[in-house]
């Protein structure tokens, strides 16, 4: 079946191409009855506008910026690489992607960075903190006419247009079930390492994890969460302390980055078989840890999908077009050593 074109809509509605164009682009000067006829024709024919052709016809360039954290987080490095790759693909569609790195663990620094980008880009996709200063900065950027979506970690109190990321409460609950199941009937304590308790994704994962452990595995007791700023050096120090100070340590759940630190600590202390280790994001380090059984399971989100989704969402918002929820839903992947993808 051939693709429905504007000519078909115009013929069905009994109007000119120029009138159809005015109606679809919400320009004034068209009578209400005519608008209704065009909209009815669009619905009847299930006309889908060619977004690429429309952008080329308007000869407009779209400039988007991704705000990512500085530091040693391997997943964020992978996200950076995906942006660079996708930017090359999008160049022919008049879409340019830039990257700004900042300390997202410092709310004032992140807020300052966001404010400095206001008006310089058509849209921003930012890793966010759930903090009043960041919320205010996002709202100010929006007021200045720049679109904002949050990426990986949300700022739910802000007026951001969309969140691109997984359901982090569900991810935390999944981690709880995996750790509890892998621990068998053992009783003891579980260490939790977070990047920051100001990151909404880490807060939500911790909440979901705690729910499952308390409900389904009463023999396991959660230790207070330790913050590592996603730095593998700090993460290693925390993991070594947990191992040394907790004789009945059954498991460790690393909610954010710094996975190398836990891997190093478990291997150095000879606890790779006795401590269940659940972590997030498939990287070269976590893949190797799964293969040698230092890690038991990895909960993953696809950075490439997230970059493409954020770009599509910003394009749609720029064009005044609807977002397709099913297309932009980021799924939760669970990897064991037995189902690792090629790579």
Tens of pLDDT, residue by residue over 299-320, are 999 999 999 999 999 998 988 8
Does residue 247 surpass a pLDDT of 70?
A: yes
**Whether residue 292 sits in one domain with residue 265:** yes
147 forms beta bridges with 123
On whether the CB atoms of residues 85 and 176 are closer than 8 A, the answer is: no
Encode pLDDT of 196-220 as tens digits.
Answer: 999 999 999 999 999 999 999 999 9
How many angstroms separate the CA atoms of 279 and 241, rounded?
18
- For position 272, which CATH number holds? 3.40.50.2300
Residue whose token pair is 């660079």: 84
User: What domain count does the chain have?
Assistant: 3
Global confidence as pTM: 0.82
How many angstroms separate the CA atoms of 314 and 176, rounded?
34
Phi, psi of 184 (to 5 degrees): 65, -135
**Whether residue 155 sits in one domain with residue 73:** yes
Residues for the chain: how many in total? 343
Per-residue pLDDT, 20: 83
On whether the CB atoms of residues 315 and 62 are closer than 8 A, the answer is: yes
Domain region containing 154: 62-165+303-328
On whether the CB atoms of residues 310 and 278 are closer than 8 A, the answer is: no
Banded pLDDT at 43 (limits 50, 70, 90): confident
Per-residue pLDDT, 94: 85
Torsion from C-alpha of 253, 78, 72, 113, nearest 10 degrees: -110
- For position 41, which CATH number holds? 1.10.260.40
């Amino acid at each position: 079946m051939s693709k429905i074109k504007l000519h078909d809509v115009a013929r069905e509605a009994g109007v000119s191409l120029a009138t159809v164009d005015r109606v679809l682009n919400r320009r004034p000067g068209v009578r209400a009855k005519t608008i209704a006829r065009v909209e009815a024709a669009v619905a009847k024919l299930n006309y889908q506008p060619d977004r690429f052709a429309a952008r080329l016809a308007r000869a407009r360039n779209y400039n988007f910026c991704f705000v990512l954290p500085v530091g040693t987080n391997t997943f964020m490095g992978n996200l950076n690489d995906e942006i660079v790759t996708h930017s090359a693909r999008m160049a022919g569609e008049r879409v340019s992607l830039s990257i700004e790195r900042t300390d997202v663990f410092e709310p004032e620094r992140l807020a300052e960075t966001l404010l400095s980008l206001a008006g310089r880009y058509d849209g921003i996709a930012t890793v966010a903190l759930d903090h009043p200063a960041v919320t205010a900065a996002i709202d100010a950027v929006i007021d200045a006419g720049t679109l904002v979506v949050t990426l990986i970690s949300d700022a739910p109190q802000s007026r951001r247009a969309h969140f691109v990321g997984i359901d982090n409460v569900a991810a935390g609950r999944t981690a709880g079930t995996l750790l509890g199941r892998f621990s068998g009937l053992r009783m003891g304590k579980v260490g939790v390492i977070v990047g920051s308790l100001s990151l909404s994704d880490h807060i939500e994962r911790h909440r979901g994890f705690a729910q499952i452990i308390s409900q389904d595995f009463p023999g396991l007791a959660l230790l207070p969460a330790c913050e590592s700023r996603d730095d593998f050096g700090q993460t290693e120090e925390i993991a070594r302390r947990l191992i040394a100070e907790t004789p009945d340590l059954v498991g460790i759940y690393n909610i954010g980055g710094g996975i190398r630190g836990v891997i190093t600590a478990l291997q150095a202390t000879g606890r790779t078989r006795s401590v269940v280790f659940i972590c997030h994001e498939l990287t070269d380090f976590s893949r190797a840890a799964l293969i040698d059984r230092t890690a038991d399971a990895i909960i993953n989100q696809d950075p490439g999908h997230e970059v493409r989704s954020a770009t599509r969402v910003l394009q749609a918002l720029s064009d005044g077009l609807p977002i397709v929820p099913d297309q932009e839903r980021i799924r939760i992947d669970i990897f064991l050593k037995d189902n690792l993808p090629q790579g």
